[in-house]
């Protein structure tokens, strides 16, 4: 089977992984390897997102978080940034009906203020439209950075302390978690990064403190449901102690 060919999802198997988070890396390299513009790779990557989203519920994955655009990605060329924003907008507009029909709840994390107003409105609209769905909870990180998220949470907590609504002695892990973008989203069990890079790139640093990690050489447009199933299967063989000692 060719690397870019769309393959069917694996048969229904619950691998015991509730929340998978993915750093979708390698779109630009995928296109460059074929002599194509980087945006072609990003469009192919968006198609791959659709396939992985549809495969997740059949693998027992109820929560999926994908890293679409980081706070550092603004450093890329204006052409690429504008192209990515256009891809995000088209994805939301084109997939709204399908996501709703398939029981997917879509949410976004990240600082929205820098995004185009039309894109912000599209994001808010599809969040409201899919709010009642529960077959899969899909979270897309756009203009997201873990340090930025924590900074914003600290500022909000500091404001509550200054206003006398919160005692500093009461601040604990739960307080911080409640002020993050992911306040009502469970922490990821597994974080996957594609393309062979072995960095976490400022992705969910608080939430993924005890997540398992898997780094795969596959570029994101080549990341199939079969590859995901293999990673989930290996996850099931790991022993998660959360700092404790078994036995």
List the catalytic residue out of 73, 116, 133, 148. Answer: 73
CA-nearest of 141, 67, 70 to 109 is: 141
74 is in an annotated binding site: yes
112 is in an annotated binding site: no
Confirm whether 25 is a catalytic residue: yes
Measured distance CA(197)–CA(174) in Å, rounded = 32
List the catalytic residue out of 25, 181, 189, 222. Answer: 25
User: HSE (CB half, 13 Å, CA atoms) of 9?
Assistant: 16
Measured distance CA(150)–CA(214) in Å, rounded = 24
127 is in an annotated binding site: no
164 is in an annotated binding site: no
182 is in an annotated binding site: no
25 is in an annotated binding site: yes
Cβ partners under 8 Å of residue 166, min gap 6: 157, 160, 175
201 is in an annotated binding site: yes
Distance of CA 225 to the CA centre of its chain: 16
Enzyme catalytic residues: 25, 73
Binding residues for Mg(2+), as ranges, are 25, 212
Binding residues, as ranges, are 25-30, 38, 42, 70-72, 74, 76, 193, 199-201, 212
Binding residues for substrate, as ranges, are 26-30, 38, 42, 70-72, 74, 76, 193, 199-201
């Amino acid at each position: 089977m060719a690397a870019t060919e769309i393959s069917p999802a694996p048969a229904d198997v619950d691998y015991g992984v509730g929340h998978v988070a993915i750093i979708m890396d390698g779109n630009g390299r995928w296109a460059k390897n074929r002599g194509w513009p980087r945006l072609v790779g990003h469009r192919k990557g968006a198609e791959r997102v659709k396939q992985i989203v549809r495969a997740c519920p059949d693998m027992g994955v109820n929560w999926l978080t994908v890293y679409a655009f980081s706070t550092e990605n603004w450093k890329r060329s204006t052409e690429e940034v504008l192209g990515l924003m256009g891809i995000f907008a088209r994805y939301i507009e084109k997939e709204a009906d399908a996501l709703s029909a398939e029981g997917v709840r879509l949410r976004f994390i990240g600082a929205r203020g820098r995004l185009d107003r039309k894109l912000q409105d599209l994001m808010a609209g599809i969040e409201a439209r899919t709010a009642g769905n529960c077959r899969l909870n899909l979270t897309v990180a756009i203009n997201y950075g873990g340090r930025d998220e924590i900074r914003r949470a600290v500022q909000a907590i500091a404001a509550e302390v200054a206003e006398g609504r919160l005692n500093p002695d009461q601040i604990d892990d739960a307080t911080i978690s409640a002020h993050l973008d992911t306040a009502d989203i469970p922490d990821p069990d597994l974080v996957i990064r594609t393309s062979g890079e072995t960095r976490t790139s400022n992705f969910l640093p608080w939430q993924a403190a005890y997540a398992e990690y898997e780094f795969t050489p596959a570029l994101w447009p080549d990341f199939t449901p079969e590859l995901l199933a293999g990673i989930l299967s290996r996850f099931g063989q790991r022993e998660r102690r959360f700092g404790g000692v078994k036995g």
